[in-house]
């Protein structure tokens, strides 16, 4: 069975975009969880961010004769990048720290700035950026308040101007001048950034969620199309039974096609025993069995229905035969003349021969495993062309196995939209018995 399923899976075409979307839909719980985690991470990031403000200033690197002088103008962009790097050197940072502390309005603020403005803090809160390929350096300072950010930027701008070279005075080196022309323009609050944090959290949540949803969807994959169910099982699709309304007696209009296909492809000159089982509810198996027997009887086949689900007894309940003796009594040796059959009239005035489930089977698996089941089936073969056994679903595999051993053919019933993992019991059926399944019949629902 495993090899047949693998072969069917290996020959399946590549998934389309809609099938990938279906996988995400099947694993949508993981997507929602990841998205929620991303949103929470964005909220937490916002809560943990310190409140900070920014201010910008700028300096220009030029000849000591003035920035309009064309002398060595081609070398200024390279010298500007070197000057930008000098902003993070101890010489400039020490001068910046002194100017930043000196600009405090009171001794308490000065002491706080002195303790805060270490070399590491200054390197993290000051940035210099060369504007394109020009000789202009834009300096950005970040601090807990707007006033402090402006003071820090002004201190860094003036310190770079003072240390590297200024105004053509003795401070200028090699004819190079660094001139500040903007000391501190307030840029407002830059942290926390709730919108940015939420956007990053949502994006990360969506990306991780899609990956997780695909992984979970592949594990919890739902088979929505009848063809997908047949491919997963490695069986032919015999029919798709779509219900009309609950009041409709002919609840499965596609059943005539199923019966016709069975008759044309699988019914030979010898009596045939057919088992109905599957991964749907016992109620659905019983309903399909009753209507299949009714359809076969109307087509002229001598057909008997055997309710072999000794636990649920769904077919017997549908025909109001729960109180009648039946298969359980036959398995217990209740009648020397063979099983006691009942004729159940349907609305179409067709009498259906039925062997109800009966009562008294305390251990259905043990009762079905005895030799009397084979004797009962052989007795019915002698009287009918077709013996339809409504078996339990595959959750009761210990009961299905002996029924499969006595059947010539078997149909597997499955509801549309079934998760692929629910087909696992099928893989426990040995290859010899699996060959008796001639196809799968898909139902719109399990009810």
**Each residue of 268-311: pLDDT tens digit?**
666 889 999 999 999 999 999 998 888 888 878 889 999 999 99
Asked if residue 97 lies in contact with residue 179, where contact means CB atoms within 8 angstroms, the answer is: no
Is the pTM higher than 0.75? The answer reads no
CA-CA distance, 110 to 367, in Å (whole number)? 95
Mean pLDDT confidence for 372-376? 91
Q: Is the pLDDT of residue 8 over 60?
A: no
Domain boundaries of the chain, sorted by first residue:
52-191, 222-443
CA torsion, ordered 83, 88, 89, 95, to nearest 10 deg: 100
CA-CA distance, 382 to 341, in Å (whole number)? 14
Confidence category of residue 171, pLDDT binned at 50, 70, 90: very low
Confidence category of residue 426, pLDDT binned at 50, 70, 90: confident
CA-CA distance, 22 to 41, in Å (whole number)? 28
* Burial readout 322-346 (b: 16 or more C-beta within 10 A, e: otherwise): eebbbbbbbbeebeeeebbbbebeb
Instruction: Tell whether domain 52-191 is in CATH 3.30.70.
Output: yes
Mean pLDDT confidence for 56-68? 74
- The whole-number pLDDT of residue 56 equals 95
Phi, psi dihedral angles at 185 (to 5 degrees): -100, 120
Query: How many other C-beta atoms can be found within 10 angstroms of the C-beta atom of residue 36?
Result: 13
Q: Is the pLDDT of residue 410 over 70?
A: yes
- The whole-number pLDDT of residue 240 equals 86
Q: Which residues are registered as beta bridge partners of 179?
A: 60
- Residue 308: which of 408, 381, 238, 407 has the closest Cα? 407
Report DSSP state, residue 103: T
Q: Are strands 176-191 and 136-143 parallel, antiparallel or unpaired?
A: unpaired
Q: Is the pLDDT of residue 111 over 90?
A: yes
CA-CA distance, 59 to 182, in Å (whole number)? 7
> pLDDT digits over 181-217, tens only?
888 899 999 999 899 999 999 999 999 988 888 888 7
Give the CA radius of gyration of the chain. 42
How big, in percent rounded to 5, are the helix, strand and coil portions of the chain?
50, 20, 30
Which CATH architecture does the domain made up of 222-443 adopt? 3-Layer(aba) Sandwich (3.40)
CA-CA distance, 279 to 446, in Å (whole number)? 9
Indicate the range of 26-30, 177-181, 247-251, 298-302 predicted with least confidence: 247-251
């Amino acid at each position: 069975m495993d090899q047949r399923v693998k072969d069917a899976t290996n020959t399946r075409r590549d998934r389309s975009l809609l099938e990938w979307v279906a996988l995400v839909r099947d694993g949508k719980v993981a997507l929602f969880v990841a998205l929620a985690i991303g949103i929470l991470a964005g909220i937490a990031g916002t809560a943990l961010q310190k409140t900070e403000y920014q201010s910008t200033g700028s300096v220009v690197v030029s000849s000591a004769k003035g920035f309009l002088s064309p002398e060595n103008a081609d070398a200024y962009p390279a010298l500007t990048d070197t000057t930008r790097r000098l902003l993070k050197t101890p010489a400039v940072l020490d001068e910046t720290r002194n100017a930043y502390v000196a600009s405090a309005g009171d001794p308490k603020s000065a002491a706080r700035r002195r303790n805060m403005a270490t070399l590491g803090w200054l390197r993290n809160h000051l940035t210099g950026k060369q504007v394109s390929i020009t000789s202009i350096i834009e300096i950005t300072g970040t601090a807990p308040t707007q006033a402090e950010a402006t003071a820090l930027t002004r201190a860094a701008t003036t310190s770079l101007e003072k240390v590297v070279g200024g105004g053509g005075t003795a401070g200028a080196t090699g004819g190079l001048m660094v001139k500040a022309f903007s000391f501190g323009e307030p840029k407002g609050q830059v942290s926390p950034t709730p919108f940015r944090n939420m956007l990053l959290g949502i994006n990360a949540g969506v990306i991780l969620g899609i990956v997780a949803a695909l992984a979970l969807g592949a594990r919890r994959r739902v088979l929505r199309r009848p063809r997908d169910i047949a491919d997963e099982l490695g069986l032919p699709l015999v029919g798709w039974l779509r219900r009309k309304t609950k009041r409709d007696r002919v609840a499965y209009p596609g059943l005539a096609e199923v019966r016709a296909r069975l008759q044309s492809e699988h019914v030979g000159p010898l009596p045939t025993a057919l088992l109905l089982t599957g991964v749907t509810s016992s109620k659905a198996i019983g309903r399909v069995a009753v209507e299949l027997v009714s359809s076969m009887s109307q087509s002229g086949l001598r057909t008997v229905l055997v309710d072999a689900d000794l636990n649920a007894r769904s077919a017997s309940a549908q025909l109001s035969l729960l109180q009648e003796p039946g298969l359980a009594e036959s398995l217990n040796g209740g009648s020397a003349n063979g099983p006691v059959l009942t004729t159940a009239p349907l609305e179409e005035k067709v009498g259906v021969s039925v062997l109800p489930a009966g009562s008294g089977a305390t251990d259905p698996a043990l009762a079905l495993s005895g030799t009397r089941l084979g004797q009962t089936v052989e007795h019915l073969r002698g009287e009918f062309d077709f013996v339809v056994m409504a078996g339990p679903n595959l959750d009761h595999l210990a009961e299905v196995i002996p029924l499969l051993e006595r059947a010539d053919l078997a149909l597997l019933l499955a509801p549309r939209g079934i998760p692929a993992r629910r087909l696992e019991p099928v893989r426990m059926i040995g290859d010899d018995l699996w060959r008796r399944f001639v196809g799968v019949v898909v139902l719109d629902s399990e009810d």
